[in-house]
Chains A and B, each alone.
Chain A
Amino acid sequence: MSAHAAPSTLTRRRLLQGTAALALAHALPSVAAPEMPDIPLLAELLAGRTPRWERLRLDLPALADNGQTVPLKLTMSGPFSPGPTVQAIHLFSEKNPVPDMAVFEFPVPIEKIEIDSRVRLAGSQKVVAVAVMSDGALYAAAADVVVTIAACLDGS
């Protein structure tokens, strides 16, 4: 049996190594780039471009008790000058009736990008932030939030 296996280049070990590498190659990009939720206004902003999932950071609690007011933090690591500066950061919601939640604009270049606010979330969902740079480059960040009590839509 060993005499039969020896001349073959495809050993069991080689096969397993190859399969593992292939699995890893497939797994890695999905870790680096989360799936973009299907939001028409977000697609409009991206216009077919793929943002880089780096530098921008979106912090939301993983679990929010009350969707009426959920603390949100946006940070982006510099340095920005010399080089492209941040022009605007767009905030999108996957489930809210108004998907374009907010746009933060920076009319003058700023070295420190850190924004805090509080948002309403109509249920558990993904929130996406996209930073538009002065050279047109896009950076994105996403956060998944589980909302126990959604921001009420019906007044009940």
Chain B
Amino acid sequence: MADSRISVPPETRRGEPFEVRILIRHPMETGYRTDESGQHVARNVIRRFTCRYNGAPVFAARMSSGIAANPYLRFFVTAHDSGTLDFEWVDDGGARGQARAEVKVA
């Protein structure tokens, strides 16, 4: 669950937006599928995704089964101080995932 890949530029400029990319490994199970044995596969999608910059929320997403498996997000955050980006997400099963990236402001 905690599997993710994050890309943040090695250096950012104060006051300017920088690109954040994240790929989370998650099946985003729709709940409309059955497995090989014909058993119904329960829905399990990431419901909520948040990104905090030095503790303050800067971006969030509410998701559904309409987001493809292994959700990919690319968005922008405005640089102000060096610090950390903390990503957190929670799925229908209540499982939480976390990831962190360093931000260097020149």
Contacts and interface: CB of A to CB of B under 8 A. Distances in A.
Contacts of A96: 65-66
Contacts of B57: 107-108
A117 B62 contact: no
B32 A120 contact: no
What class of interface size applies to chain B in its complex with A?
A: 20 to 34
B76 A113 contact: yes
Interface stretch (B67-75, B89-97, B98-106): B67-75
Contact of B60 (A91, A93, A107): A107
Main secondary structure of the interface of B (DSSP, over half): strand
A118 B74 CA distance: 10
A116 interface: yes
B63 interface: yes
Given A111-B17, A117-B73, A106 B66 contact: no
Interface in B37-63: 41, 56-63
What class of interface size applies to chain A in its complex with B?
A: 20 to 34
A150 to B, nearest CB: 11
Nearest to B52: A107
B78 interface: yes
Given A69-B68, A119-B68, A103 B73 contact: no
A118 B62 CA distance: 14
Contacts of B4: none
Given A110-B17, A114-B74, A116-B74, A153 B58 contact: no
Contacts of B82: none
Contact of A105 (B17, B59, B69): B59
A126 to B, nearest CB: 14
B69 A110 contact: no
Given A108-B56, A152-B33, A120 B67 contact: yes
Interface of B: 17, 21, 28, 30, 32-35, 41, 56-69, 71-78
Given A105-B59, A120-B65, A120-B67, 16 more contacts: A91-B66, A98-B65, A98-B66, A103-B61, A104-B61, A107-B57, A108-B57, A110-B17, A110-B58, A112-B17, A113-B76, A117-B68, A118-B67, A119-B66, A120-B68, A154-B34
Ranked nearest first, the 6 interchain pairs of A and B with the lowest CB-CB distance are A101-B66, A116-B74, A112-B17, A69-B68, A118-B68, A155-B33
